[in-house]
Amino acid sequence: MHSMYLILILIAGIVLIFLFFLQSKWAIQVDYQFPDKQVLQISVFLYRWCVIKEKCLRLPRFDQTEMEKSYLDYYKLLRRSKQQLLKELRLPSLLQPFHVLDFKWRTRGGTGNAFTTAVFNGTIWAMKGWLIGYLGQYLKFSKNPQIQVQPDFKNNRLEMDFSCMISFRLGKAIVGIIRALKMKEVRK
């Protein structure tokens, strides 16, 4: 009889711990600097406790001259593939449980030529504005996103600082992923 009570208490404890983790509030901090570090730093928090502190992911290095040549080609490719990408992703279901606590994205760059620098910076502004507008439809921002594009007409370089912190409840995120996967299966 005592062993049955012990098993029931153990099962109830496991269920409570499982429910706690489903309702737990998680936050993820992402930091990226280009070309200084080219390392993606990720920190994960459970409530206010840091679970993973600055996990660094090394990203491949980009050649500056190749980037300069492909600015306009990349923009043309992005315009063509943007709509197809959005049709494949089920962003509303995936992004609904996420709250953006902090969003900062600063870009400074130029090609050394005033005309191409202006085109490049205008393209960056357009991409950032479109992305923030699109994500703003589905995400809740606690503060206004801080985006900045600074042209550098004299130098041939590209610098970027990106920092973002999102929070979510684990159970709601799992439900959003399941909905997105079900929607994809239904459309097939």
Q: Which residue has the tokens 């280009």?
A: 34
78 burial via Cβ count (<10 Å: 0-12, 13-18, 19+): middle
What rounded mean pLDDT belongs to the chain? 78
Q: What are phi and psi of 61, to 5 degrees?
A: -80, 145
Q: Which residue has the tokens 């706690």?
A: 20
**Cα(37)–Cα(25) distance, rounded to whole angstroms?**
30
**Cα(32)–Cα(27) distance, rounded to whole angstroms?**
17
Nearest C-alpha neighbor of 149 from the set 188, 168, 172, 121: 121
pLDDT, tens only, 68-94: 555 556 555 555 555 555 555 566 667
Neighbours of 151 (CB within 10 A): 18
- Residue 163 — very low, low, confident or very high, per pLDDT cuts 50/70/90? very high
Where do the structural domains in the chain lie, given as residue ranges?
25-187
Decide if pLDDT at 100 tops 90. yes
Decide if pLDDT at 185 tops 60. no
**Cα(175)–Cα(93) distance, rounded to whole angstroms?**
9
Higher pLDDT, 107 or 67: 107
Contact 60, 74 (CB under 8 A): no
> What element of type H or E holds 20?
helix 2-23
Neighbours of 49 (CB within 10 A): 7
- Residue 38 — very low, low, confident or very high, per pLDDT cuts 50/70/90? low
Decide if pLDDT at 62 tops 70. no
Angle at alpha carbon of residue 155, lines to 158 and 74, rounded to 5°: 40
> What element of type H or E holds 165?
strand 156-169
pTM of the model: 0.67
What length is written for the chain?
A: 188
